[in-house]
DNA sequence: ATAATAGTGTCTTTCAGACAGTATAGT
DNA sequence: ACTATACTGTCTGAAAGACACTATTAT
């Protein structure tokens, strides 16, 4: 039970410490950058439709060469995790004004064919229309893809001491001619008090690594938070109309909302300005801005 | 722009790949193990009081020697993150039946004096009374500490383009004669669309690393989930009375609840059994068990 | 006038909170 | 009978959902 370190002072111990006795995993930060953008309105005086988008990068190197991946990279030894996420974000987009939140850390052994790579994922929300100056990166291999998902299968089994839920989700990404699609299977199994959630990529056409899982996880988080926080306001420009905001909510939640109820609900998050839209071919709408006064919790 | 890897096939590339060109951080898994236990009832026919507890281990080595820390350890190269958390859990307690959930990944540069260590934290809920057979570990340096926290300062500043919220929390841990205490400062700052949340340990008496932050983060998560999921039922034994369950909710949420309303609310999570308590010196209570039928979401 | 969007008033249903009241073992 | 807990019925008010209605601009 005697340990040779027992005799050392903390100073001495730290001096002797060798971090490289064991091999370490690599750690990356991968960021899911969301934005909602206007679809060019074809009809002459209709409002433009909104689309939920994410930023993807075409890989130039192995592995998954020529496939699309979330922007990210290795964490430097002298860099905080959050800072790494900011750095990568800044490298891909030219945006300073972002909402950034850690999502989840993915650590399956074989998620990267090169070596053991643990990925700490982040989600960023940026206002796409004003900051379209993206892709500081060299070629045109950084693109916004429209994102749609749907549940294509769901089943539930209840047995003696637990249950099992399975949900198969299809994710569709589109950018001009380029179409990517993948299926993710989420299994939640309960046995006694033990609950395990497994996420598995069933099919991945054009998307690298396990990034389809991360995308779906982030989408769920965005949806959940949109329902009861003001998070979606980070996707808006400085000033916006309530109808625009409603469209953003609708495109995230994938359902239509009633204007009267919507306005009542988000009233606490917004503040009137003196401005309004004009030349719209119909009644002008008042412009609002994100209200600071409310002090939602830290979570 | 030509890259020498361009000429390689994926196979060749992976064969040549050397993960050790750059130095890598170490990655640990640290688990916050919650339990709610009965306080030995002093009064002769009163119900025992419940206390929220967490499991801590006294460190035998530098750094933070003789201080208390969350159970955890380095992630092995051939081990999934979740598996690492299970393994550590199993090593400290003898429990199989646990609820386990990833919390957050802490990656500040200087959180460990030895070297760069990134910690992926987990939260486990176990039923303390039935599984008191903890501490498989050698000495008596694995202990359950009662956990209490309070907000000792809070302030809010609103300025032109944002606001700043500060919250100072005091955490008190107790196990017999051993008392640990620490203060954590949480700052949420918004400037334009950029939000940053910083957590800082202001004072830490007897608790190693930044573990007080992790403890508070987990506590907040447990509270939030207790409010609108059935998570707290994982802290119960197979069969329990509704009053016991209510006490568990009360000790987690740190407020008293009205029985009638509480029962209405948790009715969906529980299922009657045919059994009831007896010899209690008052009206016996029906025993309930955790209901499986409901299929809450995956989140 | 009409198309298209902007914006409001109010009924209903649902749900959370408060509280008073009844029930039943053991001593 | 009394103590301590177990359990229920119902009032109230707030919030969510549904829907009908009015308002205002450009062409």
User: Would you place residue A134 in the very low, low, confident or very high pLDDT band (cuts 50, 70, 90)?
Assistant: low
Name the nucleotide nearest A285; use CA and C1': C6
Q: Which nucleotides of D are covered by protein (CB under 7 A)?
A: 3-10, 16-20, 23-27
Average pLDDT over residues A174-183: 96
Residue-wise pLDDT for A234-285, tens only, equals: 999 999 999 999 999 999 999 999 999 999 999 999 999 999 998 778 899 9
Average pLDDT over residues B124-140: 65
C-alpha A36/C-alpha A146 separation (Å) is 9
The predicted structure's pLDDT at residue B287: 97
Whether residue B176 is predicted with pLDDT greater than 80 in this model: the reply is: yes
Q: Does A21 touch chain B (CB under 8 A)?
A: no
The predicted structure's pLDDT at residue B74: 94
The distance (Å) linking the CA of B255 with the C1' of D1 is 34
The predicted structure's pLDDT at residue A43: 61
Minimal CA separation from B77 to chain A, in Å: 6
Is A8's CB within 8 Å of B62's CB? yes
Whether residue A3 is predicted with pLDDT greater than 70 in this model: the reply is: no
Is A107's CB within 8 Å of B82's CB? yes
Is A13's CB within 8 Å of B62's CB? yes
Q: Does B2 touch chain A (CB under 8 A)?
A: no
SS (H, E, C) A218-286: HHHHHHHHHHHCCHHHHHCCCCEEHHHHHHHHHHHHCCCCCHHHHHHHHHHHEEEEEEECCCCCCCCCE
User: Would you place residue B255 in the very low, low, confident or very high pLDDT band (cuts 50, 70, 90)?
Assistant: very high
Q: How far apart are the first and last CA of chain B?
A: 43
Number of other residues whose CB lies within 10 A of the CB of residue B4: 6
Nearest residue on chain A to B79, alpha-carbon basis: A109
Minimal CA separation from A284 to chain B, in Å: 26
Name the nucleotide nearest A284; use CA and C1': D25
Whether residue A195 is predicted with pLDDT greater than 90 in this model: the reply is: no
Contacts of B120 in chain A (CB under 8 A): 105, 107, 118
**Percentages of chain B per state (helix, strand, coil), in multiples of 5:** 25, 40, 35
Average pLDDT over residues A202-216: 96
Q: Does B25 touch chain A (CB under 8 A)?
A: yes
The predicted structure's pLDDT at residue A1: 41
Is A80's CB within 8 Å of B1's CB? no
- H/E element holding A90? helix A81-92
C-alpha B85/C-alpha A144 separation (Å) is 37
The predicted structure's pLDDT at residue B298: 53
Average pLDDT over residues B46-65: 90
SS3 B109: coil
Q: Which of A74, A77, A113 is the closest to B14 by Cβ?
A: A113
Average pLDDT over residues B220-248: 96
Query: ∠A216-A222-A226 over CA atoms, to 5°?
Result: 150
The predicted structure's pLDDT at residue A19: 66
CB B196 within 8 A of CB B165: no
User: Would you place residue A22 in the very low, low, confident or very high pLDDT band (cuts 50, 70, 90)?
Assistant: confident
How far is the CA of B36 from the CAs of A244, B26, B175, in angstroms?
Answer: 47, 33, 14
Residue of B131, B108, B102 lying closest to B36 (CA atoms): B131
- The tally of CA atoms less than 13 A away on the side-chain side of residue A99 is 20
Whether residue B5 is predicted with pLDDT greater than 80 in this model: the reply is: no
Average pLDDT, chain A: 88
User: Would you place residue A47 in the very low, low, confident or very high pLDDT band (cuts 50, 70, 90)?
Assistant: confident
Q: Which of A25, A79, A99 is the closest to B27 by Cβ?
A: A25
CB A118 within 8 A of CB B27: yes
Place of tokens 């089994």: A157
The predicted structure's pLDDT at residue B43: 59
What class, spelled out in words, does domain A26-290 have in CATH? alpha beta
Is A295's CB within 8 Å of B165's CB? yes
Rounded to two decimals, the pTM is 0.92
Q: Does A111 touch chain B (CB under 8 A)?
A: no
Bond from prior residue into B63 cis (ω within 30 degrees of 0): yes
User: Would you place residue A2 in the very low, low, confident or very high pLDDT band (cuts 50, 70, 90)?
Assistant: very low
Residue-wise pLDDT for B64-98, tens only, equals: 999 999 999 999 999 999 999 999 988 888 887 78
CB A230 within 8 A of CB A217: no
Name the nucleotide nearest A286; use CA and C1': C6
The predicted structure's pLDDT at residue B2: 44
C-alpha B222/C-alpha B232 separation (Å) is 8
Q: Which class for A69: exposed (0-12), middle (13-18), buried (19 or more C-beta within 10 A)? A: middle
Average pLDDT over residues B259-286: 93
CB B234 within 8 A of CB B258: no
Average pLDDT over residues A149-164: 89
If contacts are CB pairs under 8 Å, which of residues 250-279 in chain B contact chain A?
none
């Amino acid at each position: 039970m005697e340990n040779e370190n027992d005799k050392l002072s903390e100073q001495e111990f730290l001096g002797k410490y060798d971090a490289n006795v064991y091999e370490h995993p690599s750690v990356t930060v991968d960021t899911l950058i969301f934005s909602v953008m206007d679809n060019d309105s074809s009809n002459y005086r209709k409002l433009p439709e909104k689309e939920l988008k994410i930023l993807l990068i075409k890989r130039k190197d192995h592995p998954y060469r020529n496939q699309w991946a979330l922007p990210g990279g290795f964490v430097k030894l002298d860099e905080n995790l959050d800072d790494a996420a900011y750095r990568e974000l800044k490298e891909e987009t030219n945006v300073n004004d972002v909402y950034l939140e850690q999502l989840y850390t993915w650590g399956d052994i074989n998620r990267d064919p090169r070596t053991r790579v643990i990925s700490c994922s982040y989600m960023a929300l940026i206002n796409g229309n004003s900051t379209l100056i993206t892709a500081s990166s060299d070629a045109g291999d950084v693109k916004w893809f429209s994102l749609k998902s749907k549940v294509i299968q769901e089943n539930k089994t209840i047995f003696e001491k637990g249950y099992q839920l399975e949900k198969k989700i299809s994710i569709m990404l589109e950018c001009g001619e380029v179409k990517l699609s993948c299926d993710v299977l989420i299994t939640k199994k309960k046995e006694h008090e033990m609950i395990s959630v497994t996420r598995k990529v069933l099919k991945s056409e054009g998307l690298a690594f396990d990034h389809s899982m991360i995308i779906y996880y982030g989408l769920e988080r965005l949806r959940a938070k949109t329902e009861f926080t003001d998070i979606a306001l980070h996707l808006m420009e400085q000033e916006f109309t309530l109808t625009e905001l409603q469209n953003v909510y609708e495109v995230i939640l994938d359902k239509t909302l009633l204007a009267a109820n919507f306005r009542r609900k988000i009233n606490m998050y917004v503040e009137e300005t003196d401005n309004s839209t004009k030349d719209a071919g119909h009644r002008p709408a008042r412009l609002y801005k994100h209200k600071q006064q409310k002090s939602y919790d830290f979570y």
